[in-house]
Amino acid sequence: MTAEHYSLVGDIGGTNARFALVKQGSIEPEAIEVLPCRDYENLDQAVVTYLERVGVASVRQACLAVASPLRGTRVTMTNNHWRFDIEAVRQVFGWSAFKVINDFTAMALGVPHVSDANLVHVCGGPGDPGRPKLVMGPGTGLGVSGLVPIRNGWVPLVTEGGHVDFAPTDDTEMDVLRLLRARFGRVSVERILCGQGLLNLYQAHAEIRGVAAPLDAPEKITAAAVDASDALAGEVLQHFCEMLGRTAGNSALTLGSLGGVYLCGGMLPGFLDFFLGSPFREAFVAKGRMRPLMEFTPVYVVTEPYTGLLGAAEALGNSEV
Ligand SMILES: Nc1ncnc2c1ncn2[C@@H]1O[C@H](COP(=O)(O)OP(=O)(O)OP(=O)(O)O)[C@@H](O)[C@H]1O
């Protein structure tokens, strides 16, 4: 491949670094490779390995999405040992430009580029494509972002919407709040609506009922719920989906996201059929007088595994980022 025509894009999570090349003027990721972060001392080594693997000596510029808060030019990854200085890395590789953006912002920017084949309709009507979109993703945490339409594209919103207060709506949820408050002090929705959160919710339900909680990983809870081998796991996952519906509905009301709600991340595709049959939909639309508005808003699960790379590619040419 001829280096001059390519830019490097990446989506660096706590566990994996996903890299790809994009041609100038395109947002189609090519030569996608996934490298485990723990195998590399730092970002530079991972980039060098990737470029060697795909047989490209150098690229013109780069955009990386990182799971880390961004302030200034020093980047400290939240869930792995990588640290780097943006300008220093740019100089080492001789890139003309090096953008570093938040990983969930990249997820949001990728959403308009996801093909219809990778969007599973959950509920809702046609919506209004000219209005904002809400992007939410339960995964390691609960990512929340928005996309606001402008004349020729989208402005992504960088938010911390996963950290809003958990608001119980019935007696069981009051008990869940009481138990989680005893563990964590303050209880945000992220304490429930992510992988670890599902485990927290399962343990809380077991304690409320006075029964054992033998499952010790979120994947075990979803597997036991899906194959109906554990009644408690099934009820907890139903409750998880219901609370996700209510929380997504709250964020949709706040953002005015008639353009649609897009549920991203690696978690939901792991139990998609269960999710589609869950109380998510009813919880999403049950907003009193706003019900017709909610029923008009389309909700999708995004099954594209490389949405973040699409977003990093979009960010290369998006002057709003
Ligand atoms: N099928 C599943 N059932 C339950 N929990 C799951 C399932 N698949 C993934 N998870 C949970 O989701 C979280 C990982 O989320 P996700 O796959 O979106 O990764 P991520 O947050 O993007 O991180 P990274 O970018 O480092 O891969 C973990 O807490 C994991 O336990």
How far apart (Å, rounded) are the C-alpha atoms in residues 39 and 240? 34
Q: Is 308 close to ligand 1, i.e. is its CB under 6 Å away?
A: no
Asked whether the domain spanning 115-303 has the same topology as the one spanning 3-105+307-316, the reply is no
Binding-site annotation, residues for ATP: 10-15
The answer to whether residues 169 and 282 touch, using CB atoms and an 8 Å cutoff, is no
**For position 4, what pLDDT does the model report?**
62
**Which fold would CATH assign to domain 3-105+307-316?**
Nucleotidyltransferase; domain 5 (3.30.420)
What are the residue boundaries of the structural domains of the chain, listed by start?
Answer: 3-105+307-316, 115-303
**Which fold would CATH assign to domain 115-303?**
Hexokinase; domain 1 (3.40.367)
Binding-site annotation, residues: 10-15
How far apart (Å, rounded) are the C-alpha atoms in residues 84 and 148? 31
Q: Is 269 close to ligand 1, i.e. is its CB under 6 Å away?
A: no
User: What digits encode the pLDDT tens for the residues 104-145?
Assistant: 999 999 999 999 999 999 999 999 999 999 999 999 899 999
**For position 114, what pLDDT does the model report?**
97
User: What digits encode the pLDDT tens for the residues 278-319?
Assistant: 999 999 999 999 999 999 999 999 999 999 999 999 999 888
Nearest CA to ligand 1 atom 24: 13
Q: Is 161 close to ligand 1, i.e. is its CB under 6 Å away?
A: no
Q: Is 162 close to ligand 1, i.e. is its CB under 6 Å away?
A: no
Percentages (nearest 5) of helix, strand, coil residues in the chain: 45, 25, 30
Measured in Å, residue 275 CA sits from the centre of ligand 1 at 16
Tell me the Cα Rg of the chain.
20
The answer to whether residues 265 and 233 touch, using CB atoms and an 8 Å cutoff, is no
Q: Is the pLDDT assigned to residue 195 strictly greater than 80?
A: yes
The answer to whether residues 275 and 241 touch, using CB atoms and an 8 Å cutoff, is yes
Q: Is 112 close to ligand 1, i.e. is its CB under 6 Å away?
A: no
Q: Judge if ipTM > 0.90.
A: yes
- Lowest mean pLDDT across 76-80, 101-105, 261-265, 270-274: 76-80
> Could you give the angle at the alpha carbon of 12 between the alpha carbons of 7 and 18, nearest 5°?
60
How far apart (Å, rounded) are the C-alpha atoms in residues 321 and 152? 14
Q: Is 16 close to ligand 1, i.e. is its CB under 6 Å away?
A: yes
- Lowest mean pLDDT across 144-158, 172-186, 193-207: 144-158
Q: Is the pLDDT assigned to residue 1 strictly greater than 80?
A: no
Q: Considering the chain, what is the average pLDDT of its residues? A: 95
Q: Is 219 close to ligand 1, i.e. is its CB under 6 Å away?
A: yes
Measured in Å, residue 13 CA sits from the centre of ligand 1 at 11
**For position 2, what pLDDT does the model report?**
55
Measured in Å, residue 265 CA sits from the centre of ligand 1 at 7
User: What digits encode the pLDDT tens for the residues 52-74?
Assistant: 999 999 999 999 999 888 888 89
Contacts of 297 (CB under 8 A, 6+ apart): 124, 125, 127, 252, 257, 258, 260, 261
